[in-house]
Chains A and B, each alone.
Chain A
Amino acid sequence: MSVLTTDTRRDLEIRRYPLFAYVLVPLLALVLQAWLPRVLGRFAWFDLLLIVTVFFALGRRSPIQGMLMGGILGIFQDALTNHALGINGIAKTVVGYLAASVGVRIDVENFTIRLALIFLLSLVSSAIYIFVVRVLLGLELDSNWIFEIYKALGNSLIALVSFPLLDRFQSRD
């Protein structure tokens, strides 16, 4: 793992994307996240909104933008469920913050690092989700950690494929 020093942090490129990418990519992710489980059934082991959150947080390298993006996408994800608004919002806010903070410090261009980062952030998101539901809200929610690991693996694989595709939207100054 190639870890960058503080001095080289500023040398990292802050990527910029056109406005339509900020609108269409999350919207497409939201639609696919709602539609694909109908086709794949219980094999829908992914969270496309988390992948989009991590992608923009890593690209922008701004924790605040990552948090806002994650929070908004998480709330919209909650809005499609029968759960309270904010559960996924909190989880993805933290994920956006962590992704942007980590993206400043390490080289995320490496595929292995990306794979590991997405995997870990997926588990963190699941853990925060369950923590909020069970501890903060005191609701009854059974969880299946095997499924969460499958989902983290699925997110990693999808990120490996989708990140290079999404990078094509990058604006060249």
Chain B
Amino acid sequence: MHLAIRAPPPTLYDMESFFARYRNPLVLLALLVVQIIGLAVQVHRTDSSHAGSARASLDTRDGSGVRLIRLWANSLVSPPERLIHASGMGIAGAWQNYLDLRHVRQQNQDLQKTIDRMRLEQAALLEDARQGQRLQALLQFQEKYIYKTMAAQIIGTSGSNQSHVVYLDKGSSEGLARDMAVITPDGIVGKVREVYPHSAQVLLINDQTSGAGVILETTRIRGILRGNASGQPQIVGIMSDNRIKPGEKVLTAGGDEIFPRGLPVGEVAKVVRDPERDSFIDVILKPAAQLDRLDEVLVLTSVEPRFPPDQQQDMATSEELKGAEVEQEKAQKKASEIMAERLPGLIDPNLPTDQQPLNDSTPPNPIGSQPQPLHPDRFTPGDTTGSPQSAPAGQSAPAPAPATGPQKSTPPRRNP
């Protein structure tokens, strides 16, 4: 007889003690699982063309929940950043002024106040002057640039070295939208990734998730621009080529539907071998725009060309001349059509296609339908009467018999 000792079933008390004992790890596990599920919802798997294998990529179009959280974070951070930016000097300036105040107050407080006020004013004026110079340069560029742009100021960053994004002080209320190009007079900066009512997130060209079509100015080699781990923009996906040398300028290629072609991107800093693919190289660029010291930028709000007045006048004159030429061509065409209507054509619009004269294979002038001459003479085919001179006066030559068969032609009589 076999006796088995069974363990008692777990009671409610045991379960409670289990949860009480492992409460913290269980909460940690739950939080991690929830966040991992949230990540899985946001990331989808796509086919990568260059690798040839399916890889995950972040969906650039955030869901409503994700967008709401981003909006909350932006609403929390943007107003203080805007305040700091509007204060002019910011925390660094305030700290410097605080140190100055402490030092001079020991000597003479009243004098120090005056000096500090003047220093502040001077610093503020200097900062204003610098900002004025930058804005003036920006305005000059904006005026001569053929696309419609909007000036904006950088008010913040992502705060992460893995995410190279900055925030603008303008948003959808000012007319900004996703995927608008952001540039400076020096070169391209990035594109608008997310738009909020009064601010916008810009993805810089040195971010690892960015992408822009570029072309090397001299060698005309095209590639895709993206950032690397060090925050440097690099061109990836191009074959090894000895012609690419440091210093060569790089321009936008215009095929990405974001940046117009021909904008400066930077210049080649160095060429390194692609660690993953042997025959490919990575071209590290020195960006034309100072991406780590951006203050004011321009956002391309419209890609419709906007020409200055003198060019617009030239274009209008050109259009007028072109219009006159077109009118002349139309008149010539109309005249030729009238001529074609009056002249006999080879195509009869009233006949079906198989009965058109062009499709007729019979000889163009059959004997049976040969027109009869009004005054037959000795040259008339079928004439046997001889020359008109041999006929008696007042007697006309007999009319030739109707040609029902081959006729025997008579050689003409020779005159004596």
List, in ascending order, chain A residues with CB within 8 A of B70's CB.
Answer: 79-80, 85
| Minimum CB–CB distance for A134 against chain B, Å | 10
List, in ascending order, chain B residues with CB within 8 A of A138's CB.
Answer: 45, 55-56
Residue ID in chain B nearest A42 by CB atoms: B292
List, in ascending order, chain B residues with CB within 8 A of A136's CB.
Answer: 36, 39
Of the listed stretches B152-160, B253-261, B396-404, name the one at the interface; the rest are far from the partner chain: B152-160
List, in ascending order, chain A residues with CB within 8 A of B24's CB.
Answer: 63-64, 97, 101
Q: Is the CB of A82 within 8 A of B66?
A: no
Residue ID in chain B nearest A133 by CB atoms: B162
How many angstroms from the CA of A133 to the CA of B293 in the assembled complex?
28
Among A103-125, those with CB < 8 Å from B are none
Residue ID in chain B nearest A46 by CB atoms: B159
Q: Is the CB of A80 within 8 A of B73?
A: yes
Q: Is the CB of B203 within 8 A of A82?
A: yes
Of the listed stretches A11-19, A28-36, A155-163, A165-173, name the one at the interface; the rest are far from the partner chain: A28-36
List, in ascending order, chain A residues with CB within 8 A of B230's CB.
Answer: 144
Q: Is the CB of A84 within 8 A of B43?
A: yes
A9 within 8 A of B: no
Q: Is the CB of A90 within 8 A of B36?
A: yes
Q: Is the CB of B161 within 8 A of A44?
A: yes
Given A64-B27, A138-B56: A31 in contact with B160 (beta carbons within 8 A) = no
List, in ascending order, chain B residues with CB within 8 A of A30's CB.
Answer: 73, 76-77, 159
Chain A binding surface SS class: helix
Given A84-B42, A93-B32, A137-B43: A31 in contact with B80 (beta carbons within 8 A) = yes
How many angstroms from the CA of A90 to the CA of B27 in the assembled complex?
13
How many angstroms from the CA of A37 to the CA of B158 in the assembled complex?
8
How many angstroms from the CA of A124 to the CA of B90 in the assembled complex?
33
Given A138-B56, A139-B56: A85 in contact with B69 (beta carbons within 8 A) = yes
B57 within 8 A of A: yes
Q: Is the CB of A144 within 8 A of B42?
A: no
How many angstroms from the CA of A27 to the CA of B238 in the assembled complex?
45
Which of A31, A64, A132 counts the most B-chain CB atoms under 10 A from its CB?
Answer: A31
Q: Is the CB of A81 within 8 A of B32?
A: no
B99 within 8 A of A: no
Residue ID in chain A nearest B209 by CB atoms: A82
Q: Is the CB of A82 within 8 A of B28?
A: no
Partner of B208, one of A34, A71, A77, A142: A142
List, in ascending order, chain A residues with CB within 8 A of B35's CB.
Answer: 71, 75, 86, 89-90, 93
Residue ID in chain B nearest A75 by CB atoms: B69
Q: Is the CB of A34 within 8 A of B158?
A: yes
Partner of B160, one of A38, A75, A81: A81
| Minimum CB–CB distance for A14 against chain B, Å | 15
Encoded as 1 (CB less than 8 Å from any A CB) or 0, chain B from 175 to 203 comes to 00000000000000000011000000101
B228 within 8 A of A: yes
Residue ID in chain B nearest A62 by CB atoms: B24
Encoded as 1 (CB less than 8 Å from any A CB) or 0, chain B from 46 to 86 comes to 00000000011110000000100110111011001100100
Q: Known pairs A85-B70, A136-B36, A138-B45; list 10 more (Cβ under 8 Å).
A: A34-B81, A39-B91, A63-B24, A81-B160, A84-B39, A94-B28, A97-B28, A137-B56, A141-B162, A151-B161
A-side residues, CB < 8 A to B, are 27, 30-31, 33-39, 41-42, 44, 63-64, 67-68, 71, 75-77, 79-90, 93-94, 97, 101, 129, 132-133, 136-144, 147, 151
Task: Please name the 8 residue pairs, one residue from A and one from B, whose CB atoms are nearest each other, closest first.
Answer: A142-B229, A81-B163, A79-B73, A33-B159, A138-B56, A86-B35, A84-B42, A41-B292
Q: 19 A-B contacts, Cβ less than 8 Å apart? A: A30-B73, A31-B80, A34-B156, A37-B157, A38-B166, A42-B292, A63-B24, A67-B27, A67-B31, A80-B73, A80-B74, A80-B77, A84-B39, A84-B43, A85-B42, A88-B160, A93-B32, A137-B39, A151-B161
